[in-house]
Copies of this chain bind each other. A is one copy, B any other.
Amino acid sequence: MSKGLPKRSEDYSLWYNELVKRADLAENSAVRGCMVIKPYGYSIWEKMQAQLDIMFKETGHSNAYFPLFIPKSFLSKEASHVEGFAKECAVVTHYRLKNAEDGSGVIVDPEAKLEEELIVRPTSETVIWSTYKNWVQSYRDLPLLVNQWANVVRWEMRTRLFLRTTEFLWQEGHTAHATAKEAMDETVQMMNVYAQFAEEFMAVPVVKGRKTENERFAGADETFCIEAMMQDGKALQAGTSHFLGQNFAKAFDVKFATKEGGLEYVWGTSWGVSTRLMGALIMAHSDDNGLVLPPKLAPIQVVIVPIYRGEAELEAISVKAKEIMAALKKVGVSVKFDDRDTQKPGWKFAEYELKGVPLRIALGPRDLENGTIELARRDTLTKETFDLASQPIADKITGLLEEIQDSIYRKAFDFRASVTTEVNSWDEFKQLLEDKGGFVSAHWDGTSATEEKIKELTKATIRCIPLDRKEESGVCVYTGSPSAGRVYFAKAY
C-alpha cells in the first residue's frame, strides 16, 4: 500500500479499478480480457458460492458437470441463440502443436485440424439439452433440476475486472419440466432466490423485473432479472432467470410421455449469476478508503491489532487477544490476530480498511490496565471504547456485525431511493440522466423502436419492467403514445 486510492467523486472508474487491484481482489492477466482472481478476492467469491449452493440445494437442485466444448453445429440449432452468441466465441480448430521445421519454435500442427470446430461454452443450454434428450423419456423423469458451477468464455471487446471479462466464473441452472406453469414457477423462484441472496447476504437492494424483448436472453421467451444500483448512478444487472418455453426442447427434440399417454415437448428454464456479483458488491458499498464488506461475506470479520512497544507488552496483549479470539471463534466469528512485527499499527489499520474488514479491535497496554478494547467499524469509520466487563465480548461483536450488515443494506437502500425518480417529460428525462443518473421511472410505449431510439439518444436502456409496478396508464415519455405502466431506465454496466 503506497498512497491513497483515487476518490470516487473525481474518477469513479479509476477508483474501482485501483480498488480491485490494491485490495488484492483481482488483476488483469497476460491473456487479453481474462483476469486472475487473487486469493483474497477468491475467498469472497467462495463465500458467495457456498451460500448460493445451499440455497440451490434447499430448492431441490443438484450439481452436475457438462463439457467445456460445444460442437459448432449444436450452437446453431436454436436460431436466436446462435444469433446472440456467435459473434463472441472462442473457437478451437486444432488439437496439437508441433515443432516448426525451421526451428523457430512451436506451431499449430496443420494436420491436427478438427473436422468440426468446437466452441468454448459461452453458456451451456445447447450441450445440456442435447444431454437431456437421453435423460428424459417419461413424466417420471421430470422435473430435472440441475445446476453447474463453471467457467464460460465470451469474447468481449471491452473488458473490466469482474464486470465484463472474456472468461468468467458462474453458475448456470438448467431445468426441465412437464408443464409451462411449472417452468414459469421455477423461473420466478430462482429470481427470488437471487434477490434474497443479494439483499440478505450482499446487502445490495435489487429491483425484480422482466426484461423487454430487446434485452432478453437469446433463446428465451421471457427473462427475469434483478437490477442493482451502483454509487455512480449506474445500474448493474446482477442475475437473470430465463423461461425458455419449449425452444430448446424443440431444437434438441426432447419429448416426454405424459401421464395420459401423450408425447410432448419439455419446458425449460435457465438461470445464472457470475463473478460479476463481485463487481456489484464492491461498487455498492465501498468508499474512498477501500472496500466495505458486509459481515456475511467478509472472509475476515474481525481483525485484532496489537499496539505495543517491545516483546513484553506484545506478550501480555497476546494473552488477552487470544482469549478474545477463542470467544469469537466459538460463536462462528472469523477473526485474525495480526501480530506481525514488520508493519506498524497505522499501516495495518489502513490495510484492513482497504480490505473491508468490518470490525477492527485495537489493544494496547492502557486497554489491558482498564479492561477495555478499542472497537472500530469499517462502514461508519467510527470508534468506541468497549468495557470488557460490561457484556460478553462475543455478544457485543455478533450484535455489532448484525448491525453493520443491516446498516450497510439500509445505506444502499436509501441511496437507491434517492436516485430513483419518476419522470414525465422528455426534457426532464434527458436532464436527469445527464446530471444525476439512477433509475428513471418513466412511461414507455412498449415498442423496441422507441427503446432503441432512447438508448441512442441517452445511452440509457430499459433495465426492467418492475414486477411490483402499479397499473397506471400514461403516455410514453418519448413518443407520447399510450403506455400501460412505468419501466425503469438507467445507464448500466
Q: Interface of A with B (CB < 8 Å)?
A: 27, 29-31, 34-39, 42-43, 45-46, 62-76, 82, 86-99, 105-106, 108, 117-120, 127, 130-131, 134, 140, 146, 150-151, 153, 155, 167, 169, 342
Contact = CB atoms under 8 A, between A and B. Distances in A.
A37 B128 CA distance: 11
List the number of copies, as a whole number: 2
Contact of A91 (B66, B108, B130, B342): B108
Q: Which 8 A-B pairs have the closest CB atoms?
A: A39-B62, A34-B67, A86-B97, A37-B65, A91-B94, A95-B155, A31-B67, A93-B93
Given A29-B131, A39-B146, A42-B63, 6 more contacts: A31-B127, A68-B153, A89-B95, A90-B92, A92-B92, A150-B151
Contact of A169 (B65, B88, B96, B99): B65
B67 A90 contact: no
Given A63-B43, A65-B37, A97 B108 contact: no
A105 B76 CA distance: 8
Nearest to A153: B68
Contacts of A76: 105-106
B117 A108 contact: yes
28 contacts: A29-B66, A29-B67, A29-B127, A31-B70, A34-B69, A36-B67, A36-B131, A38-B64, A39-B63, A39-B64, A39-B146, A42-B64, A42-B65, A43-B62, A45-B65, A75-B97, A75-B106, A87-B97, A88-B95, A90-B95, A90-B118, A91-B93, A91-B94, A91-B96, A92-B120, A95-B155, A108-B117, A140-B342
A169 to B, nearest CB: 7
A134 to B, nearest CB: 8
Contacts of A46: 63
Contacts of A98: 86-87
A43 to B, nearest CB: 7
B108 A93 contact: yes
B91 A95 contact: yes
A71 B31 contact: yes
Nearest to A35: B67
Contact of A87 (B96, B118, B130, B146): B96
B92 A86 contact: no
A82 B105 CA distance: 10
Nearest to A91: B94
Contacts of A140: 342
Nearest to A144: B39
Nearest to A53: B46
